Structure 1
Amino acid sequence: MAAPRILIVGGGFAGMECAHKLERKLSSHEAELRLISPMDHQLYLPLLPHVAAGVLTPQSVAVPLRRMLRRTAIVPGGAVGVDTKAKAVVVRKINGEEVVERYDYLVLTPGSVTRQFDIPGVDRHAVGVKTLAEAAWIRDHVISQLDLAAASSHQEEREQRLQFVVVGGGYAGTETAAYLQRLTSAAAKRYPGLDPSLIKWHLVDVAPKLMPELGPRLGDKAMAIMQRRGVQVSLGVSVAKVTEDTVTLTDDRVLPCRTLIWTAGVAPSPLIATLGAETNRGRLVVRPDLTVPGLDGVFALGDAAAVPDVVKGGDAICPPTAQHAMRQGWAAAKNVTAALRGFPLADYRHKDLGLVVDLGGIQAVSKPLGVQLTGLPAQVVARGYHLGALRTLTARFRTAANWGLNAVAGDDYVRTGFQAHRPATLKGFEMTDAYLSPEEISERVESA
């Protein structure tokens, strides 16, 4: 008799951690482990702003799945539909071939995509900071804008190329604006004919406070750091429309701009909509033990699942953070093992480790275990946390070495050009239009 098959969808924090723990908990004859992922690495998302600014190389934040997982078979493709009645997942492999993967237990960790909203022009002119390709493209693009501004003899074009807008005052947006502003400020010194005063960074958020999760003191400190550097922070404001060379805000300001970085929240992977199950603001409703009500053998966790926060109680849901995704991966591995062996399942509970925000250099704000820190102590905590969260010694060494080299030698302003002709859209980078309709899913499963 064949061993039960455990199918894990997604190789991010939750999926990779779940697979890693299952390898330790289950012997090879107890279960067959398979993980579906279009990428062969786990991406350490919190450090993407460092990649966008060139402080870290892309390899530093991409942990190879095959280095971490020894018994789990990697299926190189993306899940584009789920038929829970047939216990089957439709997978589109990276070569375009479609296959159907059967399961006994399904662990859904497809993650999230950048939330766009219905704002004219955002889909055509904005990029996010959710993928390695986006971070690499942003670095190339920002350096290109400096080069093109220096080459242009038209003042209007220079102003457009030297104004940058980041939408979203959360961690991703604030850190991205902070790191890229440092990059352009340092790079401007290498362009003798370029007026540094023309380089302007805007951070826009509809919320009344910058990173309210930090609390008033640390939030105000982060705000002061950004403003002292010259970043123009606009709160209580959103984007009304975008064109190729302008960003219009809801307060009627029109910013000349050819760079729009969109970090205004995340939305669950479109895969969730293919299940036809109950959702909470797009996230799959799950029980505290991470099982999906009404779906036999299905677990869901990470950004795509509305996991109840039993520590806070009430209707609270765990936020879509790396910290929760990793721990939910561990909890899911325990519960899948328990289900397989006929034992009771346990609810997911957590102890909040706090928050860290790295603003570059020695500037940071952190709140480890509720202790409020700023400056160098906060930076030590922030980078220490990231090093600990990276899953291999190789990744930790690369990251620490990159940080050290950047601190000693400074930045290089190299435009590689390897993504110059890639369509720079959220849809193009995050492949949000790849999913099947329920009818198409049934057709693929029946013909398999």
Structure 2
Amino acid sequence: MTVTRPRILVVGAGFAGVGCVRRLERKLSTDEAEITLVTPSSYQLYLPLLPQVASGVLTPQSIALSLRRSRKYRTRIIPGGAIGVDLAAKVCVIRTITDEIVNEPYDYIVLAPGSITRTFDIPGLTDHAYGMKTLAEAAYIRDHVISQLDLADASDDPDERAARLQFVVVGGGYAGTETAACLQQLTHNAAKRYPRLDPRLIRWHLIDIAPKLMPELGDKLGRDAQEILRRRGIDISLGVSIAKAGPDEVTFTDGRVIPTHTLIWTAGVVASPLIGTLGAETVRGRLAVTAEMCLPRRDGVFALGDAAAVPDRAKDEEGAICPPTAQHAMRQAKRVADNVIANLRGQSMRPYEHKDLGLVVDLGGRDAVSKPLGVELKGLPALVVARGYHWSALRTNVAKTRVFTNWMLNAVAGDDFVRTGFQARRPTKLKDFEFSDAYLTPEQLRERVEGTGGKAQ
């Protein structure tokens, strides 16, 4: 009789998924379980540093950490994305990068599909806005911003030139604020290389519907961050959003019309649409799980990261859930891996609990604001803390070396403002990067699994 090893399927290669896989590889012997990871790309993206890729401070490769470099690497990687999970049949339906749809049976599943950009029903938004959630988007936005400078420099039409040199970023959270700050630094430095351009025509707008910029920082640091950005010439509008977006202008909800060819949308995230295929209870769109990160009444189903509403036991508030940050995802990954192993071995599982260590915001150049362990910092001390935190959080020594070298080289030599060719002649916008329409409906999922008897194909 052949004895098969239990199959552990991990969905997603972000901080949560990769951290879980790495711990499973270290703690499980090869004959205890078979580990499979579902991800479109065989790398872990260090998401917090994307704005620095967009601004050219870091190269794309430096924050894409290969999953195949680990000495203990033995995980089977399926190159694709999970588009549906049948909990009753214990089958995950996957669309591979070649658009083939396959069934992957499992005994244990760890759901860490992350999040996608949150959009609203705003006319023209998904057709004309750019996102900042993937490595391709960051590289693409860099090319696009530099191309606007090139086109403005070549144009003799003052209206076209002005429109090319106005940039709008929506979202006053960390992603939006850092994106606006880093890209403004890029255009400010680049303007010196375009003698035909008047630097005063380059305008950056940062808008958010909330009354404060990065409210998690507190009033004082939030004001400090605003002051830094305004001193650089970034127009900040709070309590304002987008009413509609077009190919060459954006209309704000306060009635202003801004001629621009660049709208970057970073107004929050929502859990991956994969969660909607499970038919399970959700909290604010995230999968409701226990403190042990298990799905109630479903044996062998775990969830963590941005897609899971993990109870925040470190807070006294009733119903508090962990924020979707890398800090929590990395720590949840270790606990969920330990709980999978405990479940596999018939041992008791432990709940997740972590007290937030603070926040860091790198505003480009020598500007930063940070709040490590509640201590408010700005300027160079904050920059040292911010970059030190990111550097230490990188998973491999190769990535640490690349990032540190990039920082040093950029500090000494600056940027070359070169377009790398990611921008095709056909514009690629928000709707083209995240494949949010690729997921199965519950009916399609049932038909798919029942039609194949739940077997792998």
TM-score bin, normalised by smaller chain: over 0.9
TM-score by length of 1: 0.98
In the aligned structure 1, how far is the partner of 2:391 from the partner of 2:192? 32
Superposition map of 1:101-250 within 5 A: 101-250=104-253
Q: 1: CA distance between counterparts of 2:152 and 2:424?
A: 17
SS at match of 1:418: coil
1:366 aligned to 2:375? no
Deviation at 1:54, TM superposition (A): 0.6
Shift of 1:97: 1.6
Q: Is the 8 A contact 2:128 2:245 kept in 1?
A: yes
Tell me the SS of whatever aligns to 1:427: helix
Amino acid at match of 1:19: V
Q: Deviations over 1:7-44 (max 9, x none)?
A: 00001100000000111111111111110001110000
Q: Equivalent residue for 2:323?
A: 319
State the Cα distance separating 1:433 from its structure 2 match. Answer: 1.1
Partners of 2:209 and 2:190 lie apart in 1 by 30
Q: Which runs of 4+ in 1 moved over 4 A?
A: none
Out of 43, 46, 49, the residue aligned to residue 48 of structure 2 is 46
> Match of 2:62?
60
8 Å CA contact retained: 1:427, 1:433: no
Q: Which residue of 2 aligns with 1:351?
A: 355
Distance in 1 (CA, whole Å) between partners of 2:381 and 2:406 is: 20
Instruction: Give the alignment's Cα RMSD to 1 decimal.
Output: 1.0
3-state SS of 1:174 partner: helix
Per-residue deviation at 1:423? 4.2
2:12 to 10, 25, 29: 10
CA contact (8 A) 2:168 2:264 kept: yes
Gaps of 5+ in 1: none
Distance 1:140 1:200 in 2: 18
Letter in 2 for 1:338: A
One-letter code aligned to 1:173:
G
Q: Could you tell me which amino acid in structure 2 is paired with residue 79 of structure 1? A: A
Write the letter of the residue equivalent to 2:28: L
Name the SS of the counterpart of 1:193 in structure 2.
coil
**Does the aligned pair in 2 maintain the 1:23–1:71 contact within 8 Å?**
yes
The CA deviation string for residues 235-277 of structure 1, in whole angstroms up to 9 with x for no partner, is: 1111111111111111111111110010000011111111111
Structure 1 CA distance for aligned equivalents of residues 397 and 92 of structure 2 = 34
Q: Secondary structure at the match of 1:82?
A: strand
Structure 2 runs not aligned, ≥5 long: none
Amino acid at match of 2:250: V
Q: Percent of pairs identical after alignment?
A: 67
CA deviations over 1:271-316 (Å, ceiling 9, x no partner): 1111111111211111111001132211010001111101103111
Structure 1 position 331 matched with structure 2 position 363: no
Aligned length: 448
Residue deviations 1:327-365, cap 9 Å, x none?
Answer: 111110011011111111111100211100001121111
Letter in 1 for 2:37: L
TM-score, L = length of structure 2 = 0.97
Distance 1:282 1:424 in 2: 27
- In structure 2, the residue matched to 1:35 is 37
Amino acid at match of 1:10: G
| SS at 1:66 equivalent | coil
Asked if the contact 2:139/2:422 (under 8 Å) is kept, the reply is no
Q: Is the 8 A contact 1:201 1:232 kept in 2?
A: yes
